[in-house]
Structure 1
């Protein structure tokens, strides 16, 4: 016999603890009504239950949303009921006025009542609303084109076409890089030179690569060596393909998908490659001395490129094709070029300036490059090259502190430089800008036209003439637990003003029944228009009623499934509770007996 460890008492105490914990959980489940009161009770069941609860509560609110939609539709339809009644009365009066027995005075009396009904129809249209949402007056938004003008420093713009709607954007570049092989570069034949190329790889990451090549005895050899160096580089040859021709002209094009340009175009000496996002485009640029074709950025209908000066006899500009829809596969391509020959002239405000490769004296009114023309004109003008999408032209802008109208500039050949009145975009030939200017235009009552690049921002507030024809009233009803298009029901209500119905100027007055007869037809059209709208509203109401029935059914069945997971089965749990209660009492009794089991040791000590 031992007294230090009473194993019977220890076992009885442990079992009593187990029973007490089980009874406590049963008590918790019976008192709360839930068999999952914490995640530890049923981890997987809790996750499923909470997901179902989200759906249940979302669908319950969606059902209420649909009921609100029915109320809004009923409000609009009820108002149109009165409009219908008023139109029927107007039709009755117009028929009455068409009777030959009516005098001119009688018809005027009829017109007085019609005018009151027209006014009331307008009032109903303007004031009918549900929860502060006007239902019959329309949105009042309009579309149109306006005239904009503005300035920044000595650069001004003229008129642009305002396009209401989505703007085509080129959000990024597949690759970009600059390689210079200008004629003025001096290198010994056979020596090595390094060209640093910055580009974006296929994943859009910016990379820098040094390409080492040997100079040749002439431009042909140098171009071939550089092309071979690009094609031999493990990284660059995955993205680019370089080549040279018998004249020493270098061509570099992207290997990415897209529409290639004409392979007969000349290569460039100073180039920067760019491409539109969403339309992987392989491009090949043309050769221009002292000219950079800047990468394209966000544009509207026409892509933009920035030009610097070019010598007479060399191509001085390129054309970028239009790419309104920048879906996959669409591409902007390089079009033709314009050669400015010796002797061509340009007329500005009646004064003629002549292209002359052999003369550089500005006082003789000749110019060799666009930059010379800039110097000749002085600080009052900025010369710019301009792209319309199909032709290359030139414009200039007066540099005043107020918005100005761009004058017209005309070549003596068949190319004309239209003023900014045309639907055109301008590219700046001056070196004032280091990046391409991008244009975003939207027609609205208070919007602005913005031109942006890394160094400047030009904001041109518009004074657009917009006809404010009322649009329809549109709103969507959220009738699902998720924000997908399938869970939205659109309600479209036309403006029901007298003007929208075509009865704002209806008249039955006159010496004969001519106006009255016309009024009958006009009112009949208005009645048909209101009938069509009421029919549409009735169809929406019926649809919403079916929607509510379906939502309530889903909520009911989902709640039943969630209840089976979460709720306590009271009968089953009560059996467990009663059993645990008996075991608890028995355990307490056995623990008391076990505590007394070692008292027999005292008799040995006596």
Structure 2
């Protein structure tokens, strides 16, 4: 007989307490929908779950960031669409002014519209903003002091912000691969004899009744990247369409003197090559920096201005200013970002500042300048379009990752109602 302790009652009380605690835990899980309501429920699971929650929320915010990035890109690209339209109209006016049916007064009226259109390009460049951030004035990319000297200027994420002086005053611009196949001739000059000219491994059939004008057309239409023409000085020229040391033309014939009595490509074939630009210096590019050349395109390799790339259009000197690019945080973690630079798109950087169509020579020269500007804007719009497409894929990937990570976190954190009781 035990007098001081009732063991049976104590056991019953303990079991009742455990049952109440289990019931309380089950009700807490059922009411909250969570398997882990506090750290004691599953300490390791809680730590893993919270880490996943940080990733999930980061991925969701990254999706929003990417969508905002698309909106910014669309704003810049939409403005450049209008710049394109303005340049096309300026080109149209330049072609009109090139015609000598116009009087000086007529060209003066055309110049008035050219001036207004130029001012509008500058206004678009200086006032296009997203969330008060200017997009097209070079503040988030590169700009040049004189766009007639340098074209297609770009930088990379490795390019340190600053101003670099590109000294091309002593430069020799790149050349095409060019061969003068005959001289003292005209379009109507008859070929010397029938035969086959082989240019860059393409056979050109020359008939006895052909003129040199006919042969030039055959070469131009048949040989990719090569143009043949007869210039005002009577030279029959065959040249590559592009400049650079990688351009080459090889000419041979199966008979002597096919074109003229002195143009013998049978006994010895001729090979000519183009050249790259030489004599360019970039002040401030830093130690251990070198320049690589491709035609008239110069790129800095190494140093402070790593990745700075520019096309030299004239052998003169100008400054390039590189500003910090835009950074889009498109991931949940540090370093998961995308950098975007947008070059200045005003008349100075496009090389169309001060276009004068009041003379036939000026109007004719303006056409090629505007063509270069259109090409530059096209390149910038192409870059922006590529970034927008990339961000679209980024959003899709972030959504998929967030969905799968949420499912994994749910298996750890959420209650299984079938097991909760």
Contact 2:142 2:343 in 1 (8 A): no
**Partner SS for 1:494:** coil
- What are the Cα deviations for residues 478-523 of structure 1, in whole angstroms up to 9, with x where unaligned? 1112222xx221112110011000111111002xx11111111111
Contact 1:470 1:495 in 2 (8 A): no
Matched, 1:565 2:416: no
The answer for the alignment partner of 1:482 in structure 2 is 333
The answer for the alignment partner of 1:69 in structure 2 is 69
Contact 1:137 1:473 in 2 (8 A): no
Matched, 1:514 2:357: no
CA distance in 2, matches of 1:9, 1:489: 70
Contact 1:141 1:468 in 2 (8 A): no
Note closer, same or farther for the CA distance 1:98–1:473 as it changes in structure 2 (3 Å cut): farther
The answer for the alignment partner of 1:96 in structure 2 is 96
- What are the Cα deviations for residues 59-92 of structure 1, in whole angstroms up to 9, with x where unaligned? 1111111111111100000000100111111111
Contact 2:36 2:46 in 1 (8 A): yes
Task: Give the C-alpha shift of residue 470 in structure 1.
Answer: 4.5
Note closer, same or farther for the CA distance 1:523–1:141 as it changes in structure 2 (3 Å cut): closer
Note closer, same or farther for the CA distance 1:569–1:5 as it changes in structure 2 (3 Å cut): same
Structure having the larger proportion of residues in helix: 2
The answer for the alignment partner of 2:398 in structure 1 is 551
Task: Give the C-alpha shift of residue 143 in structure 1.
Answer: 11
CA distance in 2, matches of 1:494, 1:526: 13
CA distance in 2, matches of 1:558, 1:111: 62
The answer for the alignment partner of 1:504 in structure 2 is 353
Contact 1:138 1:473 in 2 (8 A): no
Count of residues paired in the alignment = 257
Matched, 1:493 2:342: yes
CA distance in 2, matches of 1:471, 1:505: 24
CA distance in 1, matches of 2:137, 2:370: 19
Contact 1:90 1:523 in 2 (8 A): yes
**Partner SS for 2:333:** coil
The answer for the alignment partner of 2:379 in structure 1 is 532
Matched, 1:35 2:46: no
Contact 1:66 1:547 in 2 (8 A): yes
Task: Give the C-alpha shift of residue 37 in structure 1.
Answer: 1.1
- What are the Cα deviations for residues 261-287 of structure 1, in whole angstroms up to 9, with x where unaligned? xxxxxxxxxxxxxxxxxxxxxxxxxxx
**Partner SS for 1:493:** coil
Contact 2:143 2:343 in 1 (8 A): no
The answer for the alignment partner of 1:120 in structure 2 is 120
Task: Give the C-alpha shift of residue 6 in structure 1.
Answer: 3.2
Task: Give the C-alpha shift of residue 8 in structure 1.
Answer: 2.8
- What are the Cα deviations for residues 395-446 of structure 1, in whole angstroms up to 9, with x where unaligned? xxxxxxxxxxxxxxxxxxxxxxxxxxxxxxxxxxxxxxxxxxxxxxx9xxxx
The answer for the alignment partner of 1:523 in structure 2 is 370
Contact 1:478 1:489 in 2 (8 A): yes
CA distance in 2, matches of 1:474, 1:483: 17
Contact 1:142 1:467 in 2 (8 A): no
The answer for the alignment partner of 2:57 in structure 1 is 57
Contact 2:143 2:349 in 1 (8 A): no
**Partner SS for 2:338:** strand
Note closer, same or farther for the CA distance 1:126–1:470 as it changes in structure 2 (3 Å cut): farther
Equivalent positions of 1:374-393 (< 5 A) are: none
Note closer, same or farther for the CA distance 1:490–1:543 as it changes in structure 2 (3 Å cut): same
The answer for the alignment partner of 1:541 in structure 2 is 388
State the TM-score, normalizing by the size of structure 1.
0.40
Q: CA RMSD in A?
A: 2.8
CA distance in 1, matches of 2:322, 2:116: 25
The answer for the alignment partner of 2:195 in structure 1 is none
**Partner SS for 2:332:** coil
Equivalent positions of 1:276-287 (< 5 A) are: none
Contact 1:473 1:495 in 2 (8 A): no
CA distance in 2, matches of 1:473, 1:14: 69
**Partner SS for 2:325:** strand
Q: Which of structures 1 and 2 has the larger relative contact order (alpha carbons within 8 angstroms, sep 6+)?
A: 2
Contact 1:473 1:494 in 2 (8 A): no
Note closer, same or farther for the CA distance 1:533–1:141 as it changes in structure 2 (3 Å cut): closer
CA distance in 2, matches of 1:28, 1:538: 52
